[in-house]
Amino acid sequence: MSRSAGRRLAVASLAAVTAAGAITACGSSSSPGDGSSSSAAGGTYTVWDPYPQFDGSSAWAKLLADCGTRAGVKVKRTAFDTTDLTNKTLLAAQQGSAPDVLIVDNPVVSTLADGGVLTSTQENGIDTAQAEPNLLAAGQSGGKTYGTPIGSNTLALYYNAKILKAAGVDPASIKDWATLNAALAKVKAAGKKGITFSAIGTEEGSFQFLPWFWGAGAQLTDLGSAKAVSAVTLWKDWLKQGYAPNSVINNTQTTSWQEFATGDFAFAENGTWQLANAKKAGFAYGTIPIPATSGGTAPAPTGGEFVTVPVQRDTGRYKASEKLVTCLTDAENLLATDTTLSYVAPTDAVQNQQVAAAPELKVWVQAVRGAKGRTSDDLGTKYPRISEQLWGAVQAALTGAKSPADALSAAQSAASK
């Protein structure tokens, strides 16, 4: 997204949900979020979203109102920052005043579901048949699906075309780690800087490391594996050989992008939300998928939100809520919304429409199709603890406090507890 990626990836929201995981009573006592008497037909339905950058005159707000009209209800919309949204949702669930429709960052879905805050698609009737399975997986827990994705973003490698040409590097030749390392060596030999990324000790650091971790074939359930060590060693060697600056240790995705925007770096790992900034950078750029160690596209983590239906005491409200969700995620509205949000659509048909309208999105669609939810593999509430240990291990290795193997071994031990 074009808004602050830091907010989108804030692990504080996950920690807040986990801390409140004991909430279970909300499943039987919720009532409409506007405090009005419930009604299965007509009335006011509340929608909470994490898009405070869009005011009441925006296309997004107008779409919500239009979907309300189609569903035969009035929509009362409230927008929150991502972290505030999660905390307020938990509080509302405790108080029996959850919104009718909740649009929330995808890593939070399984945790809210495990806390009894959300209904499953089996309960609320939402049709998820058109959503790509790898994107839908981020909202699945315990064999059930909670909501549907409204759009997705992920990571790829931006490159400076002028620097690569001067270094004699064809970006199309970069297919695996070996060819990427060879390209970085040529860039350095040409007197230019190699690659910048975010390795900060927060969720952003884990988010940026996961393509290399998964691309090595490692699993989040085994942080100490040889494959995981190879991924950390890759980054460690980049710093050691001068391909990447030491600033990556403290870089956020925003400051990493700012380094790339100077025009001095050949590559930058970043997301779809930087597309508008890339067009303003003042130099020719391109994008390639992040390569897996032995070739092909590495699975990158999915960003983006799910449209969900929180538990209500009056289950008759779910019918209108389902209509709202269906309207927000139909093909026509997805195309307009995801273009506004710099998202790749969650369905194959709309993805193809996006590429037809903007061919530069082809790489991003390819990356999203190979992407993976951070809470997939039924990790759910386990993910925040694992992620914290993972970014800590990367930090320890890059700063030289521990070897990659020792850092990851300690991380696995801590995560297992």
Q: Which residue has the higher pLDDT, 291 or 7?
A: 291
pLDDT tens-digit map of 83-94: 789 899 999 999
pLDDT tens-digit map of 221-235: 999 999 999 999 999
The separation between the first and the last C-alpha atoms of the chain, rounded to the nearest angstrom, is 35
Q: Is 82 in the same domain as 204?
A: no
* 394 falls within a domain: yes
Q: Is 162 in the same domain as 148?
A: no
* 374 falls within a domain: no
Residue 347 CA to residue 100 CA, distance in Å, equals 24
pLDDT tens-digit map of 360-395: 899 999 999 999 999 988 888 899 999 999 999 999
Question: Do 90 and 281 meet the contact criterion of CB atoms below 8 Å apart?
Answer: no
CA dihedral 250, 252, 253, 256 (to 10 degrees): -40
Q: Is 360 in the same domain as 255?
A: no
Token pair for 206: 């884990």
Q: Is 120 in the same domain as 218?
A: no
User: pLDDT tier at 2 (50, 70, 90 boundaries)?
Assistant: very low
Q: Which residue has the higher pLDDT, 87 or 245?
A: 245
Range among 50-59, 226-235, 333-342 with highest mean pLDDT value: 226-235
Q: Is 146 in the same domain as 20?
A: yes
Q: What pLDDT sits at residue 41?
A: 60
The predicted model gives 279-288 an average pLDDT of 95
Q: In sequence order, what are the residues at sequence separation of 6 or more whose Cβ sits closer than 8 angstroms to the Cβ of residue 11?
A: 202, 203, 384, 387, 388
Q: Is 275 in the same domain as 399?
A: yes
Q: Is 398 in the same domain as 409?
A: yes
Q: Is 104 in the same domain as 188?
A: no
Measured at the CA of 172, the angle between CA 169 and CA 178, to 5 degrees, comes to: 70
Q: Is 147 in the same domain as 159?
A: no
Q: Is 75 in the same domain as 130?
A: yes
Residue 131: domain span = 5-152+303-369
Q: What is the CATH number of the domain that holds 340?
A: 3.40.190.10
Residue 63 identity: L
* 53 falls within a domain: yes
pLDDT tens-digit map of 346-360: 999 999 999 999 998
The count of C-alpha atoms lying within 13 angstroms of the C-alpha of 378, restricted to the half-sphere facing its C-beta, is 3
* 263 falls within a domain: yes
- pLDDT > 70 in the chain, percent: 90
The predicted model gives 388-407 an average pLDDT of 98
How many domains are contained in the chain?
2
The predicted model gives 286-309 an average pLDDT of 96
pLDDT tens-digit map of 14-33: 333 333 332 222 332 333 44
pLDDT tens-digit map of 159-206: 999 999 999 999 999 999 999 999 999 999 999 999 999 999 999 999
Query: DSSP 3-state assignment of 261?
Result: helix
* 225 falls within a domain: yes
Q: What pLDDT sits at residue 347?
A: 96
Residue corresponding to tokens 């993910």: 383
Q: Is 337 in the same domain as 410?
A: no
Exposure string of 21-31, with b = 16+ CB inside 10 Å and e = fewer, is eebeebbeebb
pLDDT tens-digit map of 4-14: 333 333 333 33
Q: Is 340 in the same domain as 262?
A: no
pLDDT tens-digit map of 119-172: 999 999 999 999 999 999 999 988 999 999 999 999 999 999 999 999 999 999
The predicted model gives 53-61 an average pLDDT of 92
- What global pTM score does this model have? 0.84
- pLDDT > 90 in the chain, percent: 81
DSSP secondary structure letters along 98-127: --SEEEEEHHHHHHHHHTT-B--HHHH---
Q: What pLDDT sits at residue 304?
A: 92
* 360 falls within a domain: yes
Q: What pLDDT sits at residue 312?
A: 95
Question: Do 384 and 197 meet the contact criterion of CB atoms below 8 Å apart?
Answer: no
User: pLDDT tier at 340 (50, 70, 90 boundaries)?
Assistant: confident
Q: What pLDDT sits at residue 381?
A: 84
